[in-house]
């Protein structure tokens, strides 16, 4: 009888440990899926914010603040160079501003 009782207790322990492992694994996978979904949502929100920030009006303002007084002079500021490249990539600058920035060596 003692051997039978030990086997029953061992089987119960295996069931409890296996059930706990399954539950833990399921929670771990759920957390991974949620983290991936949150990362994707954050990426989409950041892209939307970037596109809202780079309006044609903002691009023209940045171009005016950056263009030097004379061709050949360095830009007035280098703060907007990355944003101006984004404006150009998104087609937010008309050909006149694009030409002036190109002629000044900014692009």
d(CA 22, CA 18): 6
**21-41 pLDDT, tens digit each:** 999 999 999 999 999 999 999
Non-local CB neighbours of 74 within 8 Å, separated by 6+ positions? 68
**C-alpha distances in Å from residue 27, one per residue of 15, 21, 33, 65:** 18, 10, 10, 53
pTM for this model (two decimals): 0.52
CA distance 70 to 62: 17
What pLDDT score does 94 carry?
86
pLDDT at residue 1 is higher than 70: no
């Amino acid at each position: 009888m003692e051997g039978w009782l030990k086997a029953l207790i061992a089987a119960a322990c295996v069931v409890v440990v296996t059930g706990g492992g399954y539950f833990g694994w399921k929670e771990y996978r759920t957390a991974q899926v949620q983290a991936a979904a949150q990362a994707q949502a954050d990426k989409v929100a950041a892209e939307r914010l970037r596109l809202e920030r780079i309006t044609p009006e903002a691009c023209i303002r940045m171009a005016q603040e950056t263009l030097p007084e004379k061709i050949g002079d360095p830009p007035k500021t280098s703060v907007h160079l990355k944003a101006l490249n984004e404006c150009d990539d998104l087609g937010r600058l008309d050909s006149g501003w694009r030409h002036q920035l190109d002629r000044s060596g900014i692009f």
